[in-house]
Structures are given as C-alpha cells and as structure tokens.
Amino acid sequence: MHANELRRRLKAEPFMPFTINMSDGRKFPVRHPELLHIFPGMERIAVLGLPEEEATEVLSLIHIASITVNEKNGRSRGRKKAG
C-alpha cells in the first residue's frame, strides 16, 4: 500500500471509515481520520491508535494487503421500538 493512498482516504470529505486488512490476516478498523497517522518522511509505516485497547499499533505499509471501505458510517443505528 502506498502512503499517498492512505492519506487520500484520511482527507476524504466526508470521511468514510475503512478497515485495513494485513497480509497476516489481522484487521484494523479506522473509524476516524485522527486514529491513523503517517509521519512525513516515513513512507513505509503508519501508526494506528486503538482506543478500545488503549494502545497503538505500528503498521508496515508493505504488509497492508487491502483496504475495505465500511458500508456504514460507523454509527450504530438501533431499531425503533414499537409502541
């Protein structure tokens, strides 16, 4: 994966949440553009914040197999109760 492709997705208006699919089978959801950062001059790695785990993950761009754009906008939509 090229760093510019990730930057383009992060700057898209409106932002569309996506999932990073790694070559080893791991999947990382990017629900907000501020959770993923590619440092200038470091075109081979990205730092992903994982709020649920209170952790960060350093990703090698050459190991990103694909990106899946999430159909939903990341907000849960519950069903209305009858009555």
pLDDT values of the chain reduced to their tens digit, one per residue, 83 residues: 888 899 999 999 999 999 999 999 999 999 999 999 988 887 788 888 988 888 999 999 999 999 999 876 544 433 333 44
Residue 47 lies in a domain: yes
Domain membership of residue 62 (yes or no) is yes
Residue 80 exposed, middle or buried by CB count within 10 Å (0-12, 13-18, 19+): exposed
> What token pair was written down for 37?
């950062």
Whole-prediction pTM: 0.77
What tokens were used for 64?
A: 């990103």
Helical residues (DSSP H) of the chain, grouped into ranges: 3-11
Helix (H, G, I), strand (E, B), or coil: what is residue 33? Answer: helix
pLDDT at residue 69 in the model: 92
Q: Is 31 contained in some domain? A: yes
Print the domain residue range for 52: 3-69
Asked if the structure places residue 78 within a domain, the reply is no
Q: Which residue has the tokens 């109760």?
A: 81
Query: Which secondary structure element, helix H or strand E, spans residue 20, and what is its range?
Result: strand 18-22
At residue 15, the pLDDT reads: 94
Distance of CA 8 to the CA centre of its chain: 12
Check residue 64 and give its pLDDT: 94
CATH number, domain with residue 9: 2.30.30
Q: How many domains does the chain have?
A: 1
